[in-house]
Structure 1
Amino acid sequence: MLPGLAYYIPAIILAFAILAAAVKILREYERGVVFTLGRFTGVKGPGLILLIPFVQQMVRTDLRTRVLDVPTQDVISHDNVSVKVNAVIYFRIVEPDKAIIQVADFMNATSQLAQTTLRSVLGKHELDEMLAERDRLNADIQEILDKHTDAWGIKVANVEIKHIDLDETMIRAIARQAEAERERRAKVINAQGEQQAAAKLLEAADILGQRPEAMQLRYLGTLNFIAGERNSTIVFPFPIEFGDILKASGAKRGD
């Protein structure tokens, strides 16, 4: 009995090996690129996949979003400022057959393309644009990358510039520029305020000059304001009529 069973053991082991090579299980986020005798015959998955052993081979691909950290790049801006920039890219495979057949290593190819694109795009802009318009630069880089990686079956979902590093000399220069800009705005606002105040004072003078009683009321209001303050100032009211008398006497002496 035992010698007969030992005779079938190699056949049983061979059957299990063939079954293991034929049956594949792919997860929901996986796809299998199948080659039959070296030729591409389709994309399968997810779930249970049956292959012909030794005739068909399968390459697994992951469809989940991948994160690619672009190494720090030395960039010279359009206004000849040297900066160090790094970024992060989010992409995923949308056509597994192209990602396997069209490019040998899609991760390395995407990384190299991202580095060159980052230097090329940022080199066309000035430093102020890099610091203030990151969203627009991110969109430009994403559009270029997505256009070039489409032939590889890759979709670039997002690009984010993480850091723009400047040397200390440039940081101090930018700080001085910002301070000068704030001073300029303060002077302009102050001048505009003086202009508006002068216009209002001229308008008020025209209104008060039309009626002498208005000037008298303004004079009494000013005295009331001064008297209300807690100070040691003593105010002696000077009637406005005395001013008219002095003007009249001066005019007579002049005659």
Structure 2
Amino acid sequence: MPPETILIILAVIFLIVFLFASLRVIKEYERAVTFRLGRLRGPLGPGLIFILPFLDKMVRVDLRVVTLTIPPQEVITKDNVTARVNAVVMFRVTDPVMSVMTVENHAIATSQFAQTTLRSVVGRADLDTLLAHRADLNEDLAHSIAQQAEQWGVEVPVVEIKDVEIPEMMQRAMAREAEAERERRAKVISARGELQASEELRDAAITLSEAPASLQLRYLQTLLELGADQNSTVVFPLPMDIVGPLMNAVNRFSGDADKDLDETRTKPGLAVVDRAVESESR
């Protein structure tokens, strides 16, 4: 084989190897930050890109949302309660060049800063705020982390506190407090119900007093309800307009009898008889 043919074959093989070594495929959700002899070329992609072997260095940057779990942190709240808190941080790279040029590893940096921010924010809140107003703490966390991560070309859209672990003694105290609060609410609701019932009864009494016929109908309905039950004892309710005159007559009769007895005792002839009766009764 002539030497020229061998050189041509070697040149073709070298060209093919060079092309395979120079071509890179960048996916749609990726960007390639390339450096040529140490100088930045800028982000490339997506699609097929060309780099020079041994001269260009490429760093792939993923633009998708990354879910980062913050490990549990020992935190002392504002009211001196020890708690273990963990959270979830979701972030994504918005500027591939800044994420490579300004920080060595943006994921590790975001994780470490999120841990310190979590301890700081939770330490400024009391236990009730941590348990009942988690949304406000999440917003504060997201704002603090996003403000710092923005300098790295990273956007932090979501920060959520997952679990809050408190001592068992504090859990029992909170359970007793919740039970007492429920009992208080039950008593308040019962008192309000009694007040409303009394107001309704007052209105009903006023309405019945304006129409005596309706009072008689109510009396008959009550008798019908009593007769429907199989009871051995039957109670007959009597309206006050019937019982009132009868009670007044009895009171007048008893008053007249007492008055006649007093007048009889004041007569001289019967004084001795009264004393004799009294001594005999003794």
TM range (shorter): 0.7 to 0.9
In the alignment, is residue 171 of structure 1 matched against residue 167 of structure 2?
no
Q: Structure 1 residue 61: deviation in Å? A: 1.1
Hey, what does 2:248 align to over in structure 1? 247
Task: Name the stretch that deviates more: 92-101 or 219-228.
Answer: 219-228
- The 8 Å contact of residues 226 and 234 in structure 2, kept in 1 or not, is answered as no
Deviations 1:157-194 (A, max 9, x none): 32222211122111111111111110000000111111
Hey, what does 2:229 align to over in structure 1? 229
CA distance in 1, matches of 2:46, 2:213: 95
In the alignment, is residue 62 of structure 1 matched against residue 31 of structure 2?
no
Q: Structure 1 residue 2: deviation in Å? A: 8.2
CA distance in 1, matches of 2:173, 2:34: 59
Q: How does 1:84-123 map to 2 (within 5 A)?
A: 84-123=84-123
- How many residue pairs get aligned? The number is 255
Q: How does 1:172-211 map to 2 (within 5 A)?
A: 172-210=172-210
Greater RCO, CA 8 A, separation 6+ = 1
Q: Structure 2 length as normaliser, TM-score? A: 0.80
CA distance in 2, matches of 1:91, 1:71: 16
Describe the shift of the 1:236–1:55 C-alpha distance in structure 2 as closer, same or farther (beyond 3 A).
closer
Q: Structure 1 residue 4: deviation in Å? A: 7.1
Q: Alignment partner of 2:246: what SS? A: helix
Deviations 1:8-36 (A, max 9, x none): 77655644443333222211111111112
Describe the shift of the 1:102–1:225 C-alpha distance in structure 2 as closer, same or farther (beyond 3 A).
same
Q: Structure 1 length as normaliser, TM-score? A: 0.88
Q: How does 1:148-163 map to 2 (within 5 A)?
A: 148-163=148-163
| RMSD, aligned α-carbons | 2.5
Deviations 1:131-170 (A, max 9, x none): 2333332232222211110111111132222211122111
**Larger Rg belongs to:** 2
Describe the shift of the 1:220–1:97 C-alpha distance in structure 2 as closer, same or farther (beyond 3 A).
same
Hey, what does 1:131 align to over in structure 2? 131
Amino acid at match of 1:160: E
Describe the shift of the 1:99–1:237 C-alpha distance in structure 2 as closer, same or farther (beyond 3 A).
closer
